[in-house]
Chains A and B, each alone.
Chain A
Amino acid sequence: MSGRITAARIGVVVFPGSNCDHDAYHVVKHVLGSGATFVWHKETELPPLAAVILPGGFAYGDYLRAGAMAARSPVMGAVRSFAAAGGPVLGICNGFQVLVESGLLPGALLRNRGLKFIHQPVHLKVENGTSRFTSRCRSDRPLRMPISHAEGNYHADEETLNRLEGEGRVAFRYCDSRGRITDEANVNGSQRAIAGILNEAGNVLGLMPHPDRAAEAELGSDDGRAVFESLLESLEGRG
């Protein structure tokens, strides 16, 4: 590569069927002014990167199960090594599905409780505001950003759920506009209203809502920008 890589160069992985790769790239590069590059799914090695984003979309047409094919594509071997070495990985929507299918995050994302594809704004309660993906998220009111998925119903066994909660690894929960966790606000039926989780080391976050589609006021909400700002800030801190 060029040898002029800055610490804050973020790689956005592109699978066949990704459709929010440009949204993520746009937020990183044009909204926040950081370095961004696309990484094709056939790559077996990553260029020097500070963080990896697995974007939303329908990778490989969601064949077999959402995220199943993408999780076994060549680039994921490199992403797994990157994560194992402590590199931050952010999976949004389909990217979250890829992370659970690849085993980088526990549990599974099942068909929404009501069976329908849901595309609507939701409110999120930040349950862990100290992670490297959430440290800049506002705490005075719930975040508002859209969801857009058919398989976002988070499922894990009781032991895993207890462990996630006990270790502060539930990053976000669905809530109502006043921050209350209600069954009605849990639109896809996720267990314990879980919308986003962290891995054990705290360097991998997967979430079903789209911070990339809520990073500018023109889009109706810029609450999602804080997720990217948190990540970038954490990179500065670690050089």
Chain B
Amino acid sequence: MKARVTVRLKSGVLDPQGLTIQKSLRSLGYEEVAAVRQGKVFEIEMADGAEAVARQRLDEMCRRLLANPVVEEYQIEWVG
């Protein structure tokens, strides 16, 4: 089982990297880019087992290490 965990800054938190990337894209001519938020992606290979348990464990991993709950939110999806 493989999970993809996406971590990004919460919507109210200023993302200077995303803003700078947006400006750079616009300077390349992509003026339609209204906003960019940068995040991190983790691909996590889990030993086979019950999906519900694995999801619960991944959720715990996100809260304890992968994301900083003060400023970040996360999303877990199965990719294989």
Contact = CB atoms under 8 A, between A and B. Distances in A.
Interface size class of A (residues with CB under 8 A): 10 to 19
Contact of B17 (A101, A107, A111): A111
Interface stretch (B28-36, B43-51, B52-60, B65-73): B65-73
Nearest to A158: B12
A163 to B, nearest CB: 14
Interface in A160-205: 189
Given A64-B65, A68-B65, A72-B65, A111 B16 contact: yes
B14 interface: yes
A115 B65 CA distance: 24
B65 A156 contact: no
Contacts of A106: 70
B58 to A, nearest CB: 16
B68 A101 contact: yes
Given A64-B65, A68-B65, A115 B17 contact: yes
Nearest to A106: B70
B16 A108 contact: no
23 contacts: A64-B66, A65-B68, A68-B65, A72-B64, A100-B70, A101-B68, A106-B70, A107-B70, A108-B68, A108-B70, A108-B71, A110-B13, A110-B14, A111-B16, A111-B17, A112-B16, A113-B14, A113-B16, A115-B16, A115-B17, A155-B71, A189-B14, A189-B16
Interface of B: 13-14, 16-17, 20, 64-66, 68, 70-71
Interface of A: 64-65, 68, 72, 100-101, 106-108, 110-115, 155-156, 189
